[in-house]
Amino acid sequence: MKSTPLHTLALAATLLIPALMTAQVDRTKAPKPGPAPEVHLGEHKSFLLPNGMRAIIVENHKLPIVSAQVRFDIPPVMEGNIAGYQELVGELLTSGTARHTKEQFDEQVDGLGAQLSASKDGVYAMSLKKNFPQVMDLVYEVVASATFPPAEFEKARTRMLSEVQSRASDPDQIADVVGQSLTFTKGHPYGEVVTEATLKNVTRKEVEQYYRHFFQPKQGYLVLVGDITPQEGEAMANHYFGLWQGADAPAVANAQGQLEVKDLGPIEPGMATPPLPGNVRVAFVDRPGSAQSVIKVLFPVQLKPNDPMALQAQVLNTILGGGVFNARLMQNLREDKGYTYGAYSSLNADRWCGSFSAGCSVRNAVTDSAAAELLKEIRGMRTSPVSAEELALAKSYMAGSFARSLEDPRTVARFALNTFLNNLPEDYYETYLKRLDAVSAADVQQAAMRFLHPDSCTVLVVGDKAGAEKGLEALSGNHRVLAYDANGDIVRPDPSEGATPAPAGTTVQTVLDAYIKAIGGKAAVDKVMDLKKEYTTSVQGMAATLTEYNKAPDKYAMEMKVGNMLVQQITYNGNRAKLKGMMGEKDLEDMELDEVKRNAFAFPELHYPEMGQTAQLVGMVDLNGAKAFRVNVKSVQGGQYDDYYDVKTGLKLRRKESQSQDGGGYVQVITEYSDYQPEGGVLFPRTLHQSGGMDMTLKATAISVNKGISPAVFTVE
Amino acid sequence: MATITAVAQTREIQYTEFDLPNGLHVILHEDHSTPIVAVGVMYHVGSKDEARDRRGFAHFFEHLLFEGSDNIGRGEYSKYVEKAGGVLNANTTGDRTYYYEVLPSNQLDLGLWLESERMMHAKVETKGIETQREVVKEERRQRYENQPYGSILPEVLKRAYTMHPYQWPTIGYMEDLNAANEKDYKNFYKTFYVPNNAVLVLAGDFAPKQAKADLTKYFGPIKKGAAVPRNKVVEPPMKGEVRDVVYDKIQLPAVVEAYRIPALGTPDFYAVDMLNRLLSNGNSSRLVKNVKDAEQKAVYVGSFSLPFEDPGLAIAFAVANMGVSPDSLEASMDKQFARVRDEAVPEAELTKLKVQIETEHAMENSKVAGIANNLANAYTFLGGTAKVNTEVEHYMAVTPADIQRVARKYFVPGNRVVLHYLPENQKK
């Protein structure tokens, strides 16, 4: 090695200088990163136990902690009029076992310093390694021998009733509950609402039978993570769960072909993706005096975790509002406008039904502006590709999150469990970073086109109606703001609203009799055996026809066509009803079936008792300058409508009703009847004007009485 | 003995620490198990350092310190971090303000640069000030005004303190934030955001030697500030129970009991904290087991101690079950407080609490972000970084007699605020 005194001196100088040099760092630019570190997925071990349960073990000795998770793969099940029982499963699992009362069990858990919690699909526990064997005793006890003591059931249900009451005062909880029901509809397990009424129907039998039926080894997973070797874990898994058999509570098909569990009833998965609302539906839940409006934009999404575009969807959501501070919603609504503390979106992939939600809490005065900006940003994801900078930031952030998540050894176990539950490719997580890196701006836009529906969504606002409703109607597809209550039901107007008392001697029966007499008398009406009414109208500017068929005693059909295209068809054979539309077909049930049954009678005024309906005279009102009697009709199923009869002529002038809507909720529809003309000895209105859900005027082109109708018209496949 | 087993299963947090010439304290904790690094800076300034007509300023200032610096433009703080694959945030309490990033380990210098810029020459523009003022107002509405029971802390604090600045919540009051002006920003920054009032912590995957050289490059040139003024207000003892009714948008009434307690790190604090755990840590704890479960008076009950640098509060909070009056709920809670005063805690129950603390202590150091925060906290408030490992010993040393003594000293009616929360529609 060549060395001169000069070199040596120079070297010495550089060794002395660093303290000075450090002050010279270039502060004007961000420092360059070093070479990217490699990210290592931890190892896991997975095997089947003799009883069919799958064990997953992750060894990590960094902390003296071990966790156990028992997870059952249970599809979402409709709860119906006992909504709430599944939530009680979780609470009651730890409220008594074959070996311990609740009090003893709680003492055990706390005495071990453990965390232990249960839910409707399993149990989770965590403790120091030295206490873990005893914690596993408790986990096993819960899974294999929960007893659901009646006294504990009553206590838990009372607390839940209190919580349901309390929910009505919490704007975020209201937004969650109503949001779920408007996104998924109340006909989907994710959209059901637990109310005081449904909770009162729940008995401990249902809670227990759910557990007995669904907690089965063949759909079970046992996940052990932490300060435990695979050998220890395997021995433990076998010791506790290897031979466990689950309870004997099978599902058997009932007379209607539904699967049913004894003492629990039908267990219908009901997992079809709910329809989109069709346009922008604005729903408002009034919470007078609110300091802020909670706003959500919501719609269901067909997105499963194993969808080939699932990762693109997550990049899309990250850019729009998924957690990064530089997301569009945060930058626009917080950093630019100062409307909110935070605005976020989520695009949730789910094995049964995915969903989208975007929202924020804002001061009352900017509610409409904030909602408009949310919609604008969602639309913007579809209309143009994201910038290279946004894409790079989102991808880096997601890669960073992935690496950070691996700090927790439970992440590796979660990945393994997800791979099984969601049927992911085996190398899904190993290839995650590579696949993420490959996502392009075009992919993101394609995902936006597929998964975002800014023109077919619900805009939900929970807030002070007086101070925050202004301007929202402009966002709505039908220029209306629909009022909902905290349980996700449309707010129905008070049936006596605006009515004055009817003159003495007038009863509901005299009003109905006068109407029948006015249209031709009971003898003439009774002779109508079949009836076909053809109308013309227009739908969104296009000429359309509507035909209605009635056949005594109980058949009904309706079809609506635009040109030759069938838009909607309802067929009711006296037993079942089917709705066909452009979105597919479905059997009508509950309230919807109730509505169709009512239509089966050409003159329902004669049939209230046999339909299980009761009519009540509300009073007299002014209707377009004429005096009218208002009659409220209720059905046992909970539906109701108001009919208005002309005091002078006896004829029916109007019907006002709340119709159930696709996508959940109800809308108030008003139908005006006019231009009565005779056909077959009976007067029929030739002009019907409907406003509410969809505005339209129907003009009768032909009304045929007793001309015969083919039975095929009423056939339901 | 519990003490011995506790040590056996808890792994010590290893660290080194030193001061830069400008007074910045530095703590380094090395952990290579995941290729990430946490960078945290804790400034010893919180809402108790605010002027009486600038309530909420410390927290508002925290928002403003994300706006930029001489070398970082408006909005770029978060962009640098997120583009690097990291996360960042900050929070403010009555006593301190904490900023942090968690970054991939090759981006450590970025974190050092960002935090040193914040300490050296932060800059805010009018647009930023006006926007963040609105953002903080929305934060206040969202967290305190629009949440059922959300006003509990402000309502308790203003009755529990007469002199000390703890009488206002960290979020402050809107009229004071509206009044804040440029002079306030400059003074606050110059007084409190100085290296001699801060601790820098690095935790995670880095080489200490290199890191030390790098952090010296970035933080070394920052000038030392003047001695930091401390608010010396001593709150006089309560002159008896303070009792009030608050009406809120709620369905179920609630009861709040706030007892004045000694400061964080004082010998009595550990016994007080143990007492709170005895009351509400886990389903077998006394309030949960009796008030919620056996007597069914509450749907929720909890108690916790505010870990304040100056004498703080222990707050018990319960939401009534259906049809239960606040009086009856309060009586049920008070029975448990009386029991702690009247009877020594059985050894078995104390052992349970110690096992719980031992387990929590092992779990709380599971992530580098948490370790960084714990180290900064131990240095700033517990009397030394070493407390991160030894704090647990203070808990293990608590005896039944200690608990009974603090129960009789602090958990007495004359030393508390009691609030009944009632639904608005019951207002007469």
Q: Going residue by residue through chain B (428 aa), what tens digit of pLDDT does each one get?
A: 333 333 334 579 999 999 999 999 999 999 999 999 999 999 999 999 999 999 999 999 999 999 999 999 998 999 999 999 999 999 999 999 999 999 999 999 999 999 999 999 999 888 889 999 999 999 999 999 999 999 999 999 999 999 999 999 999 999 999 999 889 999 999 999 999 999 999 999 999 999 999 999 999 999 999 999 998 899 999 999 999 999 999 999 999 999 999 999 999 999 999 999 999 999 999 999 999 999 999 999 999 999 999 999 999 999 999 999 999 999 999 999 999 999 999 999 999 999 999 999 999 889 999 999 999 999 999 999 999 999 999 999 999 999 999 999 999 999 999 999 999 988 87
What is the rounded distance in angstroms from the CA atom of residue A57 to the CA atom of residue A78?
33
Q: Closest CB to B355: pick one of A31, A112, A399.
A: A112
Tokens coding A606: 């004669």
Instruction: Show the low-confidence residues of chain A (pLDDT under 50).
Output: 1-23, 662-665
- Say whether A286 sits in a helix, a strand or coil: strand
Residue B34 to residue A406, Cβ atoms within 8 A: yes
Mutation to test the A interface, candidates B13, B33, B83, B139, most A Cβ within 10 Å: B83
Pairing of strands A652-660, A640-646: antiparallel
Domains of chain A, with CATH numbers?
Answer: 45-170+188-266 (3.30.830.10), 280-484 (3.30.830.10), 508-714 (2.50.20.10)
Is some CB atom of chain B closer than 8 A to the CB atom of A130? Answer: yes
A73 touches chain B (CB under 8 A): no
What architecture is the B15-219 domain classified under in CATH? 2-Layer Sandwich (3.30)
Q: What's the pLDDT score for residue A501? A: 86
Q: Is A678 on the interface with B (CB under 8 A)?
A: no
Q: Please state, in angstroms and rounded to a whole number, the distance separating the CA atoms of residues A192 and A210.
A: 17
Partner-chain contact B251 A361, CB within 8 Å: no
Please give the class, per CATH, of domain B242-426.
alpha beta
Cross-chain Cβ contact B110/A33 below 8 Å = yes
CA distance B402 to chain A (A): 21
- Residue B201's pLDDT is what? 98
A335 close to B (CB below 8 A): yes
Residues of A in contact with B133 (CB under 8 A): 338
For residues A595, A596, A601, A603, the Cα torsion angle rounded to the nearest 10 degrees is 40
Q: What tokens appear for A486 in the block? A: 């905290």
Closest CB to A363: pick one of B88, B138, B143.
Answer: B138
Whole-number pLDDT of residue A660: 56
Residue A265 bridge partners (DSSP): A261
| Contact across the interface for B106 and A171, Cβ inside 8 Å | no
Tell me: the pLDDT tens digits for A338-383?
A: 999 999 999 999 999 999 999 999 999 999 999 999 999 999 999 9
- Partner-chain contact B135 A110, CB within 8 Å: no
* A126 Cβ under 8 Å from any chain B Cβ: yes
Q: Which of residues 99-118 of A touch B (CB under 8 A)?
A: 102-103, 106-107, 109-114
Domains B15-219 and B242-426 share a fold: yes
Q: What is the pTM of this model?
A: 0.81
Q: How many residues are recorded in chain A?
A: 717
Long-range contacts formed by A24-27: CB under 8 A, 24+ apart: A25/B217, A25/B218, A27/B70, A27/B71, A27/B113, A27/B116, A27/B117, A27/B120, A27/B218
- The answer to whether B251 contacts A166, with C-beta atoms less than 8 Å apart, is yes
Most B CBs within 10 A among A43, A58, A159, A464, hence the mutation to make, goes to: A159
pLDDT at B425: 85
Q: Using CB atoms, which residue from A37, A162, A406 is nearest to B321?
A: A162
Rounded to a whole number, what is the distance in Å from the CA of A295 to chain B's nearest CA? 12
* Burial class of residue A285 (count of CB atoms within 10 Å of its CB; 0-12, 13-18, 19+): buried
Nearest to A320 by CA among A300, A293, A346: A346
Residue A453 has which token pair? 């529906």
Cβ–Cβ below 8 Å for A128 and B365 = no
Nearest CA distance, B347 vs chain A (angstrom): 12
Q: Which residues of chain B neighbour A37 with C-beta distances below 8 Å?
A: 35, 104-106, 205
Closest residue of chain B to A35, computed from CA coordinates = B106
Taking the CA of residue B177 and the nearest CA in chain A, the distance in Å comes to 15
CB contact under 8 A, A33 and B75: no
β pairing state of B16-19 and A265-266: unpaired
CB proximity A20 to B under 8 Å: no
Of residues A32, A112, A166, nearest to B252 (C-beta): A166
Q: Are A182 and A664 in contact (CB under 8 A)?
A: yes
- Considering only alpha carbons, which residue of chain A is nearest residue B217? A22
Nearest CA among A312, A500, A372, A409 for reference residue A61 = A409
Domain boundaries, chain B: 15-219, 242-426
B326: preceding bond cis by omega (within 30 degrees): no
* Nearest residue in chain A measured CA to CA from B88: A325
CA distance A595 to A613: 12
B11:A28 CB<8 A: no
Chain B residue whose CA is closest to A464: B146
Q: What is the mean pLDDT of chain A?
A: 90
Q: Is B148 in contact with A393 (Cβ distance < 8 A)? A: no
Q: Do A339 and B146 touch (CB under 8 A)?
A: no
Phi, psi (deg, nearest 5) at residue A500? -105, 155
The tokens of A291 are what?
Answer: 């300091």
